[in-house]
Structure 1
Amino acid sequence: MMPTPVDLLIEARWIIPVEPADTTLEHHAVAVHNGRIVAVLPTAEARLRYTAAETVSLPEHILTPGLINLHCHAAMTLMRGLADDLPLMRWLQEAIWPTEARHASTAFVRDGSLLAAAEMLRGGITTCNDMYFYPEATAEAFDRVGLRAVLGITIIEFPSQYASDADDYLHKGLATFDAWRDHPLIRFALAPHAPYTVADATLERIGSLADELELPIHIHIHETAQEVEDSLRTCGQRPITRLETLGLLGPNLIGVHAVHLNDGDIERLALHGCAVAHCPTSNMKLASGAAPVARLLDKGLNVGLGTDGAASNNRLDLFREMQQASLLAKLSTGDATALPAHRALRMATLDGARALGLDHEIGSIATGKAADLCAVHIADPDALPCFHPVSHLIHVLGRHDVSDVWVAGQQRLQGGRLLQITNTELLSTARLWQNRLRQ
Structure 2
Amino acid sequence: MSQAQFDSLIFARWMITVETDGEILENHAIALKDGRIAVILPAAEARQLVADEVIELDRHVLMPGLINLHGHSAMTLLRGLADDKALMDWLNNHIWPAEGRHVRDEFVFDGSLIAMAEMLRGGTTTINDMYFYHGAVARAGLSSGMRTFVGCSILEFPTNYGVNADDYIAKGMAERREFLGEERITFTLAPHAPYTVSDDTFRKVVTLAEQEDMLIHCHIHETADEVAGSIEQHHQRPLARLQQLGMLSPRLVAAHMVHLNDEEIELVARHGVSIAHNPTSNMKLASGIAPVQKLLAAGVNVGVGTDGAASNNKLDMLAETRMSALLAKVGTLDPTAVPAATAIRMATLNGAKALGIDDQVGSIKAGKQADLIAVDLATIETAPTFDPVSHIVYAAGREQVTHTWVAGECLLKDRVLTRLNLADLLAKGEDWRGRILAKGE
- Aligned partner of 1:234 in structure 2 is 233
- Aligned partner of 2:12 in structure 1 is 12
Could you list the per-position Cα deviations for residues 170-191 of structure 1 after superposition, in whole angstroms to 9, with x for gaps in the alignment? 0110011111010010011110
Instruction: Single out whichever of 210-219 and 62-71 deviates more from structure 2.
Output: 210-219
Distance in 2 of aligned mates of 1:382 and 1:425:
31
Runs of 4+ in 1 over 2 A off after TM superposition: none
- Aligned partner of 1:31 in structure 2 is 31
- Aligned partner of 2:200 in structure 1 is 201
Letter of the 2:236 counterpart: Q
Q: Secondary structure at the match of 2:195?
A: helix
Distance in 2 of aligned mates of 1:376 and 1:173:
37
- Aligned partner of 1:42 in structure 2 is 42
Q: Secondary structure at the match of 1:136?
A: helix
Q: State the shift of 1:21 in Å.
A: 2.6
Q: State the shift of 1:22 in Å.
A: 2.0
- Aligned partner of 2:217 in structure 1 is 218
Q: State the shift of 1:24 in Å.
A: 0.4
TM-score, normalisation: structure 2 = 0.98
Distance in 2 of aligned mates of 1:40 and 1:341:
24
Letter of the 1:233 counterpart: E
Q: State the shift of 1:252 in Å.
A: 1.0
- Aligned partner of 1:141 in structure 2 is 140
Q: Secondary structure at the match of 1:195?
A: coil
Distance in 1 of aligned mates of 2:110 and 2:267:
39
Q: Secondary structure at the match of 1:314?
A: coil
Percentage identity across aligned positions?
52
Q: Secondary structure at the match of 2:367?
A: coil
Q: State the shift of 1:4 in Å.
A: 6.8
Letter of the 2:218 counterpart: I
Q: State the shift of 1:379 in Å.
A: 2.2
Q: Secondary structure at the match of 1:413?
A: strand
Letter of the 2:29 counterpart: A
Q: Secondary structure at the match of 1:288?
A: coil
- Aligned partner of 1:362 in structure 2 is 361
Q: How does 1:167-316 map to 2 (within 5 A)?
A: 167-316=166-315
Q: Secondary structure at the match of 1:429?
A: helix
Could you list the per-position Cα deviations for residues 169-215 of structure 1 after superposition, in whole angstroms to 9, with x for gaps in the alignment? 00110011111010010011110000110000000010011111111
- Aligned partner of 2:331 in structure 1 is 332
- Aligned partner of 1:152 in structure 2 is 151
Could you list the per-position Cα deviations for residues 3-24 of structure 1 after superposition, in whole angstroms to 9, with x for gaps in the alignment? 9700000100000010033200
Q: State the shift of 1:153 in Å.
A: 1.2
Q: Gaps (5+ residues) in structure 2?
A: none
Distance in 2 of aligned mates of 1:118 and 1:424:
11
Contact 2:381 2:396 survives alignment (8 Å): no
Q: How does 1:82-101 map to 2 (within 5 A)?
A: 82-101=81-100
| Structural RMSD (CA) | 0.9
Query: Residue 3 and residue 345 in structure 1: after superposition, are their counterparts in 2 closer, same or farther (change >3 A)?
Result: farther
Q: Secondary structure at the match of 1:311?
A: helix
Distance in 2 of aligned mates of 1:232 and 1:63:
48
Distance in 1 of aligned mates of 2:191 and 2:381:
44
Q: Secondary structure at the match of 1:85?
A: coil
- Aligned partner of 1:123 in structure 2 is 122
Q: State the shift of 1:276 in Å.
A: 0.3
Letter of the 2:168 counterpart: Y
Q: Secondary structure at the match of 2:68?
A: strand
Letter of the 1:30 counterpart: I
Q: Secondary structure at the match of 1:109?
A: helix
Could you list the per-position Cα deviations for residues 313-355 of structure 1 after superposition, in whole angstroms to 9, with x for gaps in the alignment? 0000011101111000000111111101111000000000000
Q: State the shift of 1:307 in Å.
A: 0.1
Letter of the 1:274 counterpart: V
Could you list the per-position Cα deviations for residues 203-241 of structure 1 after superposition, in whole angstroms to 9, with x for gaps in the alignment? 001001111111111000000000000000100111001
- Aligned partner of 2:108 in structure 1 is 109
Distance in 2 of aligned mates of 1:291 and 1:407:
30
Q: Secondary structure at the match of 1:259?
A: coil
Letter of the 1:47 counterpart: R
Distance in 2 of aligned mates of 1:360 and 1:306:
20
Could you list the per-position Cα deviations for residues 291-315 of structure 1 after superposition, in whole angstroms to 9, with x for gaps in the alignment? 0000000100000000000000000
Q: Secondary structure at the match of 1:385?
A: coil
Distance in 1 of aligned mates of 2:327 and 2:223:
17
Distance in 2 of aligned mates of 1:72 and 1:423:
21
Q: State the shift of 1:382 in Å.
A: 2.6
Letter of the 2:350 counterpart: D
- Aligned partner of 1:321 in structure 2 is 320
TM-score, normalisation: structure 1 = 0.98
Q: State the shift of 1:381 in Å.
A: 1.7
Distance in 1 of aligned mates of 2:71 and 2:84:
20
Contact 2:321 2:344 survives alignment (8 Å): yes
Distance in 2 of aligned mates of 1:219 and 1:75:
17
Distance in 2 of aligned mates of 1:421 and 1:229:
45
Distance in 2 of aligned mates of 1:382 and 1:90:
39
Q: State the shift of 1:268 in Å.
A: 1.1
Distance in 2 of aligned mates of 1:45 and 1:383:
29
Q: Gaps (5+ residues) in structure 1?
A: none
- Aligned partner of 2:341 in structure 1 is 342
Letter of the 2:13 counterpart: R
Aligned residues: 437
Distance in 2 of aligned mates of 1:46 and 1:191:
45
Distance in 2 of aligned mates of 1:3 and 1:287:
59
Letter of the 1:127 counterpart: T
